[in-house]
Chains A and B, each alone.
Chain A
Amino acid sequence: MFKKLFLSLFLFLCVAFFNAGAETLAPAELKKLLSDIREKRAAAPQVQADFQEEKSIKMMTKPVVSAGKVWFQAPNKFRREVKGNTPSLTVSNGATLWIHYPKFQSAERYKLGTRSPLDAGIAAITASLNLEGVEEKYQIIASRDGDSYTLELTPRTPSMKRMLQRFTIHFNKALQVDRTEMFQANGDRIVTDYSNESRATIGPSLFEFTPPAGTNITTPLGR
């Protein structure tokens, strides 16, 4: 009996301690927060930032760490360059997604908009960068911790649920995204930290990709 009481008290204190700094936002506050973020982004619908990513995936024994730079243009164009020993380039113009491996002189091409599993993944990734219609697609719990905010998105649609369990976005006081955490349905977890955000204009050519001559192109999902 004493053990049980002690355990209950301990759990209560733990929860209280970890929630001490975080304050859940009321629906009206959430609405205002989203409105503020959108207003800020409407002025500059493009963003670029450095990133550092850590993937904990079931098929690997250790987390996979990578770093690079990402560019995004609302609503769905993005570019992602991974630096280091195994560089790669991912470019999407909203219709086609390319992943280029310069080291192997190979590239993968994916057609988007065919409701493939990739589309759900892309939608999840761009959710943090493009909050348009986010209320319809996700259930949102928002919290404030000092000057920073956290949005916890849980997918509403079954197709998203198959891909994604939960998506958390951390904003700094300037309402810039500084961290995202993606919990996938299969148990994989991807944590990405962003820094050096800039809203400078991005040339449209950055979201287009033409494979260099001699590149071996494959289409892993067909066509």
Chain B
Amino acid sequence: MPLHSTISHLVTQRRGLVWLAVAVLIALSSLVLATRMKLDTEVLNLLPRGFESVEGLKIYNRDFSQVRELTFALVSKPEDADRLEEFAPQFVEALRAQPWCARVLAGSPLETPDGVRDLQSIAVPLVLNLDQAGFDETLAALQPAKIQERLRRLHEEVEAGSPRPQIELTLDPLGVIAPALKPFASNATMENEQPLTSPDRTMRVFITVTNQKDIGAFECQRLMEEVNAFRARASEGWDGGPLEVLVTGRSAYVAEISLSMRHDIVVTILGSVILVGGVFYIGFKRWMPLIGMGFSLLLCCLVSFAAGLLIFGELNMVTVGFCAILIGLGVDFAILIFGRYQQARDDGCDHGGAISEAIKNLGKAVFFGALTTAVGFLALLLSNSRGFTQLGVLIAIGIFLAGIFMMSVFFLFLPQERHVARHDWIFRLVKRYVLWTVRRPLFMLGISLPVLLLLMLIAISPWPPLIFDASTQSMEPKSSAAGYALHTIMDKMPARWEPAIAIVQAKNTQQLHDDWQKIAAHWTTLQESGKIKSFATPAALTLSLERLEANRARLRTIDFAVSRQALESAVAEEGFSAETFASAFTLLDDLARVASPAAALPDWRTLLPRSSSWWFLVDRYFAHDPLLTTGFVTTHAPITTQAQKQMLTQELPVAGVPMTLSGWSFTLTDLIPWSHRQLILISAMMAIFEGGLLAFLYRDWRLWLIHVATLVFAVGAMIATMKLFHLPLNILNVLAFRLVLAIGVDYGIYVLLVWQKARELEHDVAGVIKPVILAGLTAVAGFGALGLANNPTLAGLGIACAVGIFWSLAATVFFTLPATAAAEPKLWREETVHTPVQETEHV
């Protein structure tokens, strides 16, 4: 028995068996979903693999403590700036009392006695770690004459009213540890009294480290629930005007994104079902086929999702959009098959015969339709992005399943009895249009061609420009509270931009020290030559055992008893209080003790109290693994151009030091060529594949040329629309072009294949144009529904595809048809004799 007859037999005579198979499929898929459901909310997994900058960003995001940082901001009205300043300590105390809060940074640690004391406590190992020139200065400063001279000078500066003695004597009364503490002091500069306050004093920033157990989506959601509860009551005690309590950070973003996934799934599926169902109902005015179509499509989604989980283990957030896309695409098959089924019923076939006829006639078209679409989505494998690879595979699986289910399960919902024909205004309109176009193709072309050419001209002209947004904002969720907080902070703080980061992993502490010494020396020359604005490295914090030992030996040349005596005398002579120099005497004692070969070499990591605010600074440089480190390079302007990125790539590395350059801005700039490659090369490959497929299908150069021109016009009109409506392209939605080519080509195939074989234009061509229009509109609706998603990648991709598919449909109806009619004219009702058609309203 042929396949189409077998299927017809099964869905009409063995319905129970088919329902059982469906039930088993649903049960198995549900089981997979229930037991293996794991969603990947990591936005970085949307970026392509194989880029060092991307890998660096993942390391930075995973291994450094900033992953657990939350940044709070209090924003008041200008008239409440003083109140805000008074309220800040109260807010800090409330923050510290939160069970999820491990540490709080509310200002420069140098401003607090604890911060100064902590810094002095780690001075000895850092002094011993100084290079030869630096340590020479230290030794010189310990000479009695130098001590006396320095104190005399400080006295005179006090008389002059200079703030310098106060600063120096608070941190470094002996005058030897300042060079060693430079990395700390320079990062907590006292130039600005309140480095975490906006210049207009209406915003104060507080950085916290949370104690969340893991950094997964559910833990982030749990944490943010507590944080948001705190935010709700954080303004208690505030007696001013409106006060915003903002929070941002990785956990805030992850919680938002993972929660918005639920919203995105519901909104996009509902949106897609309503829009697609609406179009289907308007087209056919039947409920049961509509329900059957919906059931079959949801079954596709369920099985594909389960298959995706089995294949990939976990699915990226972007894959939640696949259901909406699948519904938009899969409905094409339902429309075509139901249209053909109805046509067969109108031609006098019974229910089983009409099913068999529909499968027999459209099996090939559905196969090729599924093939081109699946290839288009499988081409996402070339994107190297885990998220988009999953999306492509899921849709490829889904589209094949849609083909299978629309030719089997869908028929379970069709009533056996024949419906009485009702007035079909859509078909009537389509038929009139086809008649008019076939009779006057040049007239129609005279309208459509100038419009398409004009859009093409706009597409290729440099003005208006096509917006390509490679900024970090293009990756943020829409209406994101965390994003709003981040941008408010960035807007209000002095011009700061994200630095490039250099990640260095060493095998041991000595290598780490040597590497950073070389890097710091090299970057100093870059800064002096003006190639970079500034940099910060952990060089001073990476200890060298060799250097510590060598400097300790040199320390033994100092007579500490004499130095101590000199200090005591100078303090008395210059009239300084002994209390001011207490830490200096302690330091002298510590240096004297460590000079002994028997003493253990100190490590600043064990000396710095765990509660110290300085860990905020240390954690910027060191990952959980202390041999994994990072340095920061600030450029003269935000990194947005290839020239900047190339300069940094060429200049920053040091020979013999493995280094990974990254940072969000650096990475997105690094990905622009990849994005362009995706846009041009992969889309071109797709076009070549489709060109070959069309040549094979038509074996007619005129039809081939018309179809290729249709695709070119569709893509041109898509670009022009994006330009005119300021719809931006971003790093990821450039993938839309290949999808538009893959999906849009189907409409032309349906029309031209029918045209080639048409004997009766009214029956054949008009009969296919209506389903094509309905299929196109449902695809536009399916992709357009993605525009409702919070996820910007998904929304951007959906809108770009919806625009492209709309123009593919329009070009097919208003250009392909008249052009074909002009190139290969056929007479209307060429053969009207012996027609078996009884009722043509449902074709």
Binding site for B on A (CB under 8 A): 55, 57-62, 64, 66, 80, 82, 86, 88, 90, 99, 101, 103-104, 108, 110-111, 114-121, 156-159, 218, 220-223
B189 proximity list for chain A (CB < 8 A): 221-223
Cβ of A158 and Cβ of B85 under 8 Å apart? yes
Chain A residue at minimal CB-CB distance from B85 = A158
Chain B residue at minimal CB-CB distance from A157 = B82
Cβ of A116 and Cβ of B192 under 8 Å apart? yes
B685 proximity list for chain A (CB < 8 A): none
Interface residue? B169 (CB, 8 A): yes
Residue count of chain B within 8 Å CB distance of chain A: 33
Q: How far is the CA of A88 from the CA of B162 in the complex (A)?
A: 10
A86 proximity list for chain B (CB < 8 A): 155-156, 159-160
Binds A, one of B38-46, B361-369, B572-580, B713-721: B572-580
What are 6 A-B contacts defined by CB distance under 8 Å?
A60-B577, A82-B161, A99-B162, A104-B156, A221-B163, A221-B190
Cβ of A60 and Cβ of B576 under 8 Å apart? yes
Interface residue? B165 (CB, 8 A): yes
Interface residue? B546 (CB, 8 A): no
Cβ of A66 and Cβ of B575 under 8 Å apart? no
Contact partner, B85, options A55, A101, A118, A157, Cβ 8 Å: A157
Cβ of B163 and Cβ of A220 under 8 Å apart? yes
Binding site for A on B (CB under 8 A): 82, 85-86, 153, 155-169, 186, 189-194, 197, 199, 575-577, 579-580
Cβ of A66 and Cβ of B193 under 8 Å apart? no
Cβ of A222 and Cβ of B159 under 8 Å apart? no
B692 to chain A, nearest CB (A): 64
Cβ of A159 and Cβ of B85 under 8 Å apart? yes
B191 proximity list for chain A (CB < 8 A): 111, 114, 116, 221-223
Cβ of B576 and Cβ of A61 under 8 Å apart? yes
Taking each of B155, B158, B161, B165, which has the highest tally of chain A beta carbons within 10 Å of its own beta carbon? B161
Contact partner, B163, options A62, A121, A156, Cβ 8 Å: A121
Cβ of A117 and Cβ of B163 under 8 Å apart? yes
B176 to chain A, nearest CB (A): 17
Cβ of B190 and Cβ of A90 under 8 Å apart? no
B153 proximity list for chain A (CB < 8 A): 104
Cβ of A62 and Cβ of B192 under 8 Å apart? no
A99 proximity list for chain B (CB < 8 A): 157, 160-162
Cβ of B160 and Cβ of A82 under 8 Å apart? yes
A84 to chain B, nearest CB (A): 8
Q: How far is the CA of A182 from the CA of B20 in the complex (A)?
A: 92
B160 proximity list for chain A (CB < 8 A): 66, 82, 86, 88, 90, 99, 101
Known contacts A82-B159, A115-B193, A116-B193; decide if A59 and B164 are in contact (CB<8 Å).
no
Q: How far is the CA of A121 from the CA of B166 in the complex (A)?
A: 13
Known contacts A58-B577, A158-B82, A159-B85; decide if A119 and B193 are in contact (CB<8 Å).
yes
Cβ of B192 and Cβ of A114 under 8 Å apart? yes
Known contacts A61-B577, A158-B82; decide if A66 and B192 are in contact (CB<8 Å).
no
Contact partner, B161, options A90, A114, A157, Cβ 8 Å: A90
Known: A60-B575, A103-B156, A158-B86. 14 other contacts (CB 8 A): A58-B577, A59-B166, A60-B576, A61-B576, A66-B159, A82-B160, A86-B159, A88-B161, A99-B161, A99-B162, A104-B153, A159-B193, A221-B167, A221-B190
Contact partner, B576, options A55, A59, A220, Cβ 8 Å: A59
A108 proximity list for chain B (CB < 8 A): 162, 164
B156 proximity list for chain A (CB < 8 A): 86, 88, 101, 103-104
A139 to chain B, nearest CB (A): 13
Q: How far is the CA of A62 from the CA of B82 in the complex (A)?
A: 36
Cβ of A60 and Cβ of B85 under 8 Å apart? no
A66 proximity list for chain B (CB < 8 A): 159-160
A60 proximity list for chain B (CB < 8 A): 155, 158, 575-577
B126 to chain A, nearest CB (A): 20
Cβ of A88 and Cβ of B193 under 8 Å apart? no
Q: How far is the CA of A162 from the CA of B157 in the complex (A)?
A: 22
Taking each of A61, A156, A222, which has the highest tally of chain B beta carbons within 10 Å of its own beta carbon? A61
A222 proximity list for chain B (CB < 8 A): 186, 189-191
Chain B residue at minimal CB-CB distance from A223 = B191
Cβ of A120 and Cβ of B158 under 8 Å apart? no
Q: How far is the CA of A116 from the CA of B195 in the complex (A)?
A: 10
Known contacts A58-B580, A104-B153; decide if A120 and B193 are in contact (CB<8 Å).
yes
Known contacts A103-B156, A157-B85; decide if A118 and B580 are in contact (CB<8 Å).
no
A157 proximity list for chain B (CB < 8 A): 82, 85
Top 7 A-B pairs ranked by shortest CB distance? A88-B160, A222-B191, A86-B156, A158-B85, A59-B580, A222-B189, A220-B164
Q: How far is the CA of A101 from the CA of B169 in the complex (A)?
A: 19
Q: How far is the CA of A115 from the CA of B192 in the complex (A)?
A: 6
